[in-house]
Copies of this chain bind each other. A is one copy, B any other.
Amino acid sequence: MSSPLVVSLGSRSYPIHIGPGLLSSSLIPEGAGSRKVALITNTTLLGPYGTPLVRSLEEAGLTVETVALPDGEAHKTLDTLNLIYDALLTASLDRRSCLIALGGGVIGDMVGFAAATYQRGIPFIQIPTTLLAQVDSSVGGKTAVNHPKGKNMIGAFHQPRAVFADTDTLKTLPDREFTAGLAEVIKYALIRDPDFLRWLEDNMAALRSRDAGALTHAIRESCRNKSEVVARDEFETGERALLNLGHSFGHAIEGALGFGTWLHGEAVGVGMLMAALLSQELGHLASSDVSRIARLLRAAGLPMKLPDIPVDNLLPYMAVDKKNEGGRFRLILLRAPGAAYIEDAVSRDHLRSFLAGAPPSLASLASPA
Contact = CB atoms under 8 A, between A and B. Distances in A.
A78 interface: yes
A78 B325 CA distance: 27
Contact of A149 (B90, B94, B116, B155): B90
B147 A89 contact: yes
Interface stretch (A67-75, A118-126, A180-188): A118-126
Contact of A85 (B154, B157, B325): B154
Given A78-B78, A325-B94, A325-B96, A119 B153 contact: yes
A327 interface: yes
A94 B142 contact: no
A144 B157 contact: no
B121 A156 contact: yes
Contact of A94 (B35, B90, B94, B327): B327
Interface in A84-109: 85-86, 89-90, 92, 94-96
A120 B155 CA distance: 5
Given A94-B325, A95-B325, A149-B89, A142 B120 contact: yes
A157 B90 CA distance: 23
Given A85-B147, A149-B90, A320-B89, A116 B156 contact: yes
A10 interface: no
Interface in A291-344: 319-320, 322, 324-327
A120 B142 CA distance: 8
Contact of A155 (B94, B117, B319, B325): B117
Main secondary structure on A side of the interface with B: mixed
A361 interface: no
A155 B117 CA distance: 5
A150 interface: yes
Copies of the protein in its oligomer: 2
A203 interface: no
A44 interface: no
Given A94-B326, A95-B325, A327-B94, A157 B120 contact: yes
Contacts of A8: none
Contacts of A51: none
Given A117-B155, A119-B322, A325-B96, A78 B89 contact: no
Given A96-B326, A322-B94, A118 B156 contact: no
Contacts of A13: none
Interface residues of A, number: 38
Q: Which of A35, A119, A324 has the most CB of B within 10 A?
A: A119
Contacts of A26: none
A82 interface: yes
A117 B78 CA distance: 12
Contact of A89 (B85, B153, B155, B324): B153
Contacts of A96: 325-326
Contacts of A35: 326
A147 B88 CA distance: 11
A312 to B, nearest CB: 15
Contact of A156 (B120, B150, B319, B322): B120
Contacts of A142: 120
A116 B120 CA distance: 11
